[in-house]
Amino acid sequence: MVLAEKWPILLRHEQAAEWLQVWSDLGRAPRTIDAYARGLTEYLTMCERAAVDPASAKRAHVAAYVRELTERPSRRGANVVVLDSGAGLSNATIQQRLVPVRLYYDFLIEDGVRESNPVGRGRYTPRRKLAGHERGLVSRVKKLPWIPTEDEWLRLLEAALGEPIRNRLMLALAYDAALRREELCSLRTDDIDPAHRTLRIRAETTKSRKERIVPYSASTGVLLSLYLAWRSSITRARGPLFLSESRRNFGQPLSIWSWSKIVRRIALAADVPRFSTHTTRHLCLTDLARMGWELHAIAALAGHANPETTMIYIHLSGRDLAKKLNAGMKHIHSWRLDKLAALPPGEAKELER
């Protein structure tokens, strides 16, 4: 089994290896399988240290695993950029680690190995009229995405000016079309329609597995023309749009990891360490919400399967709150300001003289 070669602990846990193989055979993305394998092997390792059979583990054992995750120091140490859990791992990372464990136990239940899932999940309870849902094993922290300020964005653009045409084009497309990292790096020459200034985002590269057509601006079109002229000096063959410029992989498709390193270098040069390959997407969708785009239009551009995801950017832009404040408080604001601006009778007569 290929997975067992990378994760030897699976050789000692046949059911876990079988579950991962099922997901792999069903065509799940390799990185998804890798993330599931990593999370599950961490849990299996903890079970072995505690001399517990994972197939018969109880909620107390899962709770011990959660405690271990919350107390684990970050690999980045003092250089960690964002820390929202108050411990070594963020809330989002802990949630991510629990997903494969929960799915593994779902698999055991389906196979009749056990009757209940010790991880569980938030579920609807009719008796809780106010809450509506029962809390999951670990409460989920929901934070709005970070976007750069105008000053930070200007510093990033200035730092990007010294980059090769390819990198500037990739930043422009990532913002212009709100592209995810994989969508951007997976673009091919035949995905471009210069006549209509649109890109075809193929289903296999998207998170929702749904194809979509997105536009790009005239300014980005200029960068694209310049880059295509440069690319033709390497190859005139159709294929991946973005090619590596390094000596080791010259002319090969640019990987998502290389793109992440490029963006990280630009972010540090601009002294905006929180900037990442996903920040341009957040900024674009927030800007569209600020400009008054409708929810369904933003969702269509972003390729969101769930409108609630798109609502994050409506909230982040503050558009709805500002609109309600201006409409509902206009009279009250004007009344109070008129009162503040009014002069006492004596002072008014003094000014008339």
Task: List active site positions.
Answer: 180, 207, 278, 281, 304, 313
Residues whose CB is less than 8 angstroms from the CB of residue 133 and which lie 6 or more positions away in sequence, other chains included: 122, 123, 124, 125
Instruction: For the chain, give the longest Cα–Cα distance.
Output: 97
d(CA 120, CA 114): 13
Degrees to nearest 5, angle at CA 161 with 157 and 164: 125
Residues whose CB is less than 8 angstroms from the CB of residue 110 and which lie 6 or more positions away in sequence, other chains included: none
Residues whose CB is less than 8 angstroms from the CB of residue 309 and which lie 6 or more positions away in sequence, other chains included: 299, 302
Q: Which amino acid is located at 31 in the chain?
A: R
d(CA 323, CA 80): 37
d(CA 262, CA 345): 67
Residues whose CB is less than 8 angstroms from the CB of residue 317 and which lie 6 or more positions away in sequence, other chains included: 286, 287, 289, 290
d(CA 305, CA 284): 18
Query: Do 10 and 45 form a contact (C-beta atoms < 8 A)?
Result: no
Buried b (16+ CB within 10 A) or exposed e, 219-233: ebeebbeebeeebee
